[in-house]
């Protein structure tokens, strides 16, 4: 145990893994390597508030004293270039090498690139890091018109935030609905109408053919329908790809992310992977998934720490996610895949409702808009494997609470 645990990537997953190792009583060296220069910070506020507030600062995941107080050797600005799995050793940019007993890969993901003519112009941006968010904020100060390519969560959050900050925003989405297959069509449609009511223009079934520039800077975007949209800033938000290149240098099994077992171990037993970069067989659906959420990063990292100290356990967390799009707090719990029956509870006109998803009689997911109580109950119900009846769903949170309370213990 002389070399301890080295964690690569100091985002949500990496920082949680370091914290959990100490919580689980691990007393060997813990070294946390991150290529960003910042103290590790929360990513969700970047698209929701940071980009419209000139005074906003990144919100640290943990204060500086946390790292020193828990003897976590945090090294910012440290890029890891290669893994020699046979020698249990890492090569850092700059030539240094570092040995480990266990390695945790928490390298996250990065925005998917859209190979468009004009994509290299100044003002064509995407959002992952606080450095990206600062660029978006700086550019938006000098532009009135923005085009957002991609109607997923991040694209819509950015669109709503910039529109609230006074920009004219057009969202261009290739599919015939927003939010891909991530939410029920009813919710996607609700989000579309609500965003349009705030002035965001949404073009469905439309793509961008090229970005046009003036003097090396974006000036507009040409749609597949032949319309030229003025835009000094074009934001590309078409999803992310997992950062697996480092894992490839170690010869780890990769399939839409680093393959891990139920204990977060990769195909090499003393190398674990957690967070956005890890793909695993989901206990509920039996299919391979790679989830991109704070919950997943946090829970997988807690489990990875348990695996290393020998406390064991299988990954069986109920997945949940949230997104703030304008005046809509969307909260999702469970997985909707295979859902064959949906029950609506609440009123879309009031902008407060939930969609309960079932497979047969079994509750598999709940998607809520401005109904946090439904979401919290959903987490409980799915955690307990409890499926409410239609009349209990219709009765709202009170009826569901009563139904849960009436469950026999255990």
173 binds ligand FAD (CB under 6 A): no
243, 107 contact by CB (below 8 A):
yes
Q: How far apart are CA 409 and CA 406, in angstroms?
A: 9
Stretch that binds ligand FAD, among 12-20, 60-68, 208-216, 340-348 (CB under 6 A): 12-20
Site residue total, ligand FAD (CB under 6 A):
35
Q: Which residues pair with 7 in a beta bridge?
A: 32, 104
13 binds ligand FAD (CB under 6 A): yes
What string of H, E and C letters represents the secondary structure of 357-381? EEECCEEEEEEEECCHHHHHHHHHH
273 binds ligand FAD (CB under 6 A): no
Q: Pick out residues in 83-112 that bind ligand FAD (CB under 6 A).
A: 106-108
As measured in angstroms, the least distance from the Cβ of 222 to ligand FAD is 27
Q: How far apart are CA 137 and CA 64, in angstroms?
A: 26
As measured in angstroms, the least distance from the Cβ of 157 to ligand FAD is 7
Task: Please choose, from the candidates 118, 166, 119, the residue with its C-alpha nearest in 3D space to the C-alpha of residue 144.
Answer: 166
Stretch that binds ligand FAD, among 3-11, 159-167, 193-201, 345-353 (CB under 6 A): 3-11
- Residue 2 contacts by C-beta under 8 Å, 6 or more apart in sequence? 28, 101
212, 219 contact by CB (below 8 A):
yes
Residue 13 vs 318, nearer CB to ligand FAD: 13
Residue 8 vs 254, nearer CB to ligand FAD: 8
Neighbours of 127 (CB within 10 A): 23
| Encoded tokens for 295 | 């919950």
**The one among 7, 8, 72, 333 contacting ligand FAD by CB under 6 A:** 8
Q: Pick out residues in 277-306 that bind ligand FAD (CB under 6 A).
A: 292-295, 297
Positions that interact with ligand FAD (CB under 6 A)? 8-14, 33-36, 43-44, 46-47, 79-80, 106-108, 127-128, 154, 243, 246, 275-276, 292-295, 297, 321-323
């Amino acid at each position: 145990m002389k070399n301890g645990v080295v964690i690569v990537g100091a985002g949500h997953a990496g920082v949680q893994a370091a914290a959990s190792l100490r919580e689980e009583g691990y007393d060997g060296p813990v070294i946390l390597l991150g290529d960003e220069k910042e103290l590790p910070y929360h990513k969700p506020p970047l698209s929701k508030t940071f980009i419209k507030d000139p005074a906003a600062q990144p919100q640290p995941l943990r204060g500086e004293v946390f790292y020193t107080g828990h003897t976590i050797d945090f090294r910012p600005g440290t890029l890891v270039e290669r893994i020699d799995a046979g020698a249990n050793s890492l090569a850092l940019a700059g030539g240094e090498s570092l040995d480990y007993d266990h390695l945790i890969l928490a390298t996250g993901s990065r925005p998917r690139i859209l190979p468009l003519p004009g994509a290299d112009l100044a003002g064509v941006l995407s959002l992952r890091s606080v450095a990206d968010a600062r660029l978006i904020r700086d550019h938006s100060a000098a532009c009135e018109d923005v085009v957002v390519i991609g109607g997923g969560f991040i694209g819509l959050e950015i669109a709503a935030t910039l529109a609230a900050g006074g920009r004219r925003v057009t969202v261009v989405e290739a599919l015939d609905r927003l939010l891909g297959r991530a939410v029920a069509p009813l919710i996607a449609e609700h989000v579309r109408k609500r965003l349009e009511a705030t002035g965001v223009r949404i073009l469905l079934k439309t793509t961008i053919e090229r970005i046009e520039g003036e003097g090396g800077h974006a000036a507009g975007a040409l749609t597949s329908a032949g319309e030229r949209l003025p835009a000094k800033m074009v934001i590309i938000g078409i999803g992310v790809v997992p950062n697996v290149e480092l894992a490839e240098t170690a010869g780890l099994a990769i399939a839409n992310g680093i393959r891990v077992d139920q204990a977060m171990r990769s195909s090499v037993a003393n190398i674990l992977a957690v967070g956005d970069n890890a793909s695993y067989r989901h206990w509920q659906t039996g299919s391979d998934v790679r989830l991109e959420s704070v919950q997943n990063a946090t829970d997988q990292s807690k489990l990875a720490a348990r695996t290393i100290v020998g406390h064991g356990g299988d990954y069986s967390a109920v997945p949940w996610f949230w997104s703030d799009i304008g005046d809509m707090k969307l909260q999702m719990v469970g997985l909707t895949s295979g859902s064959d029956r949906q029950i609506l509870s609440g009123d879309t006109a009031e902008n407060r409702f939930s969609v309960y998803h079932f497979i047969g009689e079994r509750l598999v997911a709940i998607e809520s808009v401005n109904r946090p109580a439904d979401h919290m109950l959903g987490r409980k119900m799915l955690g307990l494997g409890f499926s409410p009846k239609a009349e209990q769903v219709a009765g709202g949170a009170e009826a569901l609470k009563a139904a849960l309370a009436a469950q026999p213990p255990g």
